[in-house]
């Protein structure tokens, strides 16, 4: 049995280092309860840009610029070692960590932000970075487009892990790319919530015959800082739950075994049995005996994309 801990806590909005330290403390708290896999929500570091669903297009250019600058300043440059405290915590407590984050590109323009999810092994090593392929609707004004280089299923001591972020989980071919790599624990960091989302998580567990873990964003107006631009206009109700969370764990076949955790902060624990994956695939294995490669095949381009290609010249 594998003990999983889903972290449903708010970040310290826009504050990268404070949010990283909060994550370190929560990893220690989960490990104290013998968790082996610790999962954070979408864009946990340092906050999902919930305001994009409230701003009026064309009327809020100045406030959008202010908020984007704050989001950029609070984003993570992985190459600069800004995830190192979380990596050290994973190694110290011997846990595997999956974390959503705003990732600042540290290689090219250094000003583009991606919606990313990372897998960190229990030795502290960064095992995978997946950038959201298709930001949803107004998210495209905030995040860049990812590529296929992170569409990987990673073999870890707690099982074979794969991640898709929020509405990527509605992309059938993206899901299939994980099924075909033998995913056992399918992790969906998300801002979505509610009955429709929960039903989708159950469908994916039925379709892929894998464990499905949804780590949802929970955010209360009390967690929006007082100096947030146009706070009174965008978040007028001081008691409002901006997003409900609804983190949950679904067994292969679709049964909910933990959660949904609704409108509250905390850690959702669950024990999962990886043997259930193979058992439930006896009757349906969409990437195995139930597939028809003579009729359907999926091509995935996993090449990392870059806007810069350098051709070296030979000096004479």
In a domain, 288, yes or no: no
Number of domains in the chain: 1
Q: What pLDDT, on the 0 to 100 scale, is given for residue 59? A: 65
Q: What pLDDT, on the 0 to 100 scale, is given for residue 307? A: 77
Torsion sign, CA atoms 104, 110, 113, 114: negative
Are the CB atoms for 220 and 196 separated by under 8 Å?
no
In a domain, 229, yes or no: yes
Report residue 187 as tokens.
């992790």
Q: What are phi and psi of 228, to 5 degrees?
A: -60, 130
Q: What pLDDT, on the 0 to 100 scale, is given for residue 315? A: 66
Q: What are phi and psi of 208, to 5 degrees?
A: -90, -10
Report residue 98 as tokens.
């999956």
Q: What is the set of active-site residues?
A: 42, 132, 166
Taking only the tens of pLDDT, the chain with its 316 residues reads 999 999 999 999 999 999 999 999 999 999 999 999 999 999 999 999 999 999 876 667 788 889 999 999 999 999 999 999 999 999 999 999 999 999 998 888 888 999 999 999 999 999 999 999 999 999 998 999 999 999 999 999 999 999 999 999 999 999 999 999 999 999 999 999 999 999 999 999 999 999 999 999 999 999 999 999 989 989 999 999 999 999 999 999 999 999 999 999 999 999 999 999 999 999 999 999 999 999 999 999 998 888 777 778 766 5
Q: What pLDDT, on the 0 to 100 scale, is given for residue 291? A: 94
CATH number where 213 lies: 3.60.110.10
Q: What pLDDT, on the 0 to 100 scale, is given for residue 304? A: 87
In a domain, 100, yes or no: yes
Q: What pLDDT, on the 0 to 100 scale, is given for residue 316? A: 57
CA atoms of 123 and 309, how far apart (whole Å): 34
Q: What is the CA radius of gyration of the chain?
A: 20
Are the CB atoms for 144 and 267 separated by under 8 Å?
no
In a domain, 230, yes or no: yes
Range of the domain at 80: 2-280
In a domain, 300, yes or no: no
In a domain, 301, yes or no: no
In a domain, 232, yes or no: yes
């Amino acid at each position: 049995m594998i003990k999983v801990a889903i972290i449903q806590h708010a970040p310290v909005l826009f504050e990268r280092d404070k949010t990283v330290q909060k994550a370190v403390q929560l990893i220690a708290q989960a490990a104290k309860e013998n968790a082996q896999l610790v999962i954070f929500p979408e864009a946990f570091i340092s906050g999902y840009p919930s305001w994009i669903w409230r701003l009026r297009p064309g009327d809020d250019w100045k406030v959008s610029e202010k908020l984007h600058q704050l989001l950029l300043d609070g984003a993570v440059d992985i190459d600069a070692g800004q995830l190192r405290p979380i990596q050290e915590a994973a190694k110290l407590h011997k846990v595997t960590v999956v974390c959503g984050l705003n990732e600042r590109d540290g290689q090219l323009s250094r000003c583009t932000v991606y919606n990313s999810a990372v897998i960190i092994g229990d030795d502290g090593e960064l095992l995978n970075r997946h950038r959201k392929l298709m930001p949803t609707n107004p998210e495209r004004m905030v995040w860049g487009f990812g590529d296929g280089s992170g569409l990987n299923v990673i073999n870890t001591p707690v099982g074979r892990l794969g991640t898709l972020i929020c509405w990527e989980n509605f992309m059938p071919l993206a899901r299939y790319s994980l099924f075909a790599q033998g995913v056992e624990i399918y992790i969906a960091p998300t801002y979505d919530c509610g009955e429709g989302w929960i039903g989708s998580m159950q469908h994916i567990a039925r379709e892929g015959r894998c464990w499905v873990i949804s780590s949802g964003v929970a955010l209360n107006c009390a967690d929006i800082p007082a100096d947030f631009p146009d706070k009174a206009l965008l978040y007028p109700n001081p008691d409002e739950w901006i997003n409900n969370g609804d983190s949950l764990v679904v067994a292969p076949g679709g049964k909910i075994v933990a959660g949904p955790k609704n409108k509250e902060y905390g850690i959702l624990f669950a024990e999962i049995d990886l043997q259930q994956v193979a058992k439930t695939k006896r009757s349906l294995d969409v990437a195995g005996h139930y597939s028809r490669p003579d009729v359907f095949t999926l091509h995935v381009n996993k090449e990392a994309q870059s806007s810069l290609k350098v051709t070296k010249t030979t000096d004479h």
